[in-house]
Amino acid sequence: MKKILVTGGTGFIGSHTTVELQQKGYEVIILDNLSNSQEDVIDNITKITGVRPTFGKIDVADRTQLFDFLAKHQGIESIIHFAASKAVGESVKEPLKYYRNNVNGVINILEAMKEFGISNLVFSSSCTVYGQPEVLPVTEQSPIQPALSPYGNTKQINEEIIRDFIKVNPELHAICLRYFNPVGAHPSSLIGELPLGVPANLIPFITQTAAGIRECLSIFGNDYDTPDGTCIRDYIDIVDLANAHIAAINRMEQGKQKTGVEFFNIGTGNGLSVLELVKTFEEATGQKLNYKIVGRREGDIEKVWADTSVANNELGWKAVVPISQTMLNAWNWQKKISNIK
């Protein structure tokens, strides 16, 4: 069994990726400081897969903690690096927190790869690196725009750091996956998106409103240059996204990379507006949502969706879960954690 380190592995994307890795025979070691997740996620991963991943409560932005842990866990071949602060709005208010956590984390991971002979890195990047694109859909050759938030800027900076480091360490390999908008939950309803405190993403606001936890869903702006005036995003099912990481690991393990660092857009290739997503949720679940239009939110991009042809062709990966099923999975997860029959 090949050993793989998943940082931020109790988080939303990390937990789903851990499940898919274990189901394909990898031995997974999770590191997480539990700043935005809970340790009992490990129990639910174990229920799904029948295998309990190794877990270390480690802050990867703390170099000493990371290196002490890795010194005791030799033989890791690859790292998938999720651990980072991720809320756009919070990053605007607390920029130094984001630079400290997100940039230090990547530097420490790269140094650890060199120190402990770990060959492959999949970096959790973001479509935020494209800013507000002038041409849609976005390809991997689309210009990198000035970031609209410190969060987005950390993704750009980290891609540059990884590129510079791999250039002078050609024995190492990296793939940066530029996610669009991950949504949904595992079909088992055992793991899903469980933000601590106020959610940073749209879907928990939708499901919590449907569950009566929140009185009303606020939609930020209806005066954008889109068909219904609300922002457009490319919403990708969380299990589809998780499987893109395995495709990236396979590519590096099989020596199929064309350059030391590669970049792939990970989305569905379809843009949906906020109001379209609300309607899809209502139709898929039978739940009517109470929502209101409020002012625009600082840092939000008007519209963005992916051209995924490079990922489809080079990684042999494609998003396959319909958005209606994704919304139903998210609602089933919310019902389970809220004890709704």
Cβ atoms within 10 Å, residue 179: 21
Strand 3-7 versus strand 76-81 pairing type: parallel
- Rounded mean pLDDT of the chain? 96
Listed range (59-73, 266-280, 289-303) with the worst mean pLDDT: 289-303
- The predicted pLDDT at position 25 comes to 97
- Where residue 32 falls among pLDDT bands split at 50, 70, 90? very high
Listed range (35-39, 77-81, 223-227, 271-275) with the worst mean pLDDT: 35-39
Q: Using a pLDDT cut of 70, give the percent of the chain over it.
A: 100
0.85 surpassed by pTM: yes
- Where residue 132 falls among pLDDT bands split at 50, 70, 90? confident
- The predicted pLDDT at position 256 comes to 97
Q: Tell me the average pLDDT across 250-265.
A: 97
Helix axes 323-337, 202-210, angle to 10 degrees: 60
Q: 88-91 long-range contacts, Cβ below 8 Å, gap at least 24?
A: 88/128, 88/149, 88/151, 88/152, 88/200, 88/299, 88/300, 89/149, 89/200, 89/297, 89/298, 89/299, 90/151, 90/200, 91/149, 91/150, 91/151, 91/152, 91/154, 91/299
Q: Using a pLDDT cut of 90, give the percent of the chain over it.
A: 90
Residue 299 has pLDDT above 80, yes or no: no
248 vs 195, residue with greater confidence:
248
- Where residue 128 falls among pLDDT bands split at 50, 70, 90? confident
Active centre residues (catalytic)? 151
Residue 198 has pLDDT above 80, yes or no: no
CA dihedral sign of residues 135, 138, 140, 146: positive
Residue 195 has pLDDT above 80, yes or no: no
Residue 240 has pLDDT above 80, yes or no: yes
Q: How many Å apart are CA 54 and CA 31, to the nearest integer?
A: 9
CA-nearest of 27, 80, 54 to 241 is 80
Q: Tell me the average pLDDT across 138-156.
A: 93
- The predicted pLDDT at position 196 comes to 73
- The predicted pLDDT at position 146 comes to 87
- Name the region of 269 (left: φ>0; alpha: ψ -120 to 50; beta: rest): left
Chain centroid, CA 184 distance in Å: 12
Residue 200 has pLDDT above 80, yes or no: no
pLDDT tens digits for range 11-30: 999 999 999 999 999 999 99
Listed range (60-64, 108-112, 148-152, 175-179) with the worst mean pLDDT: 148-152
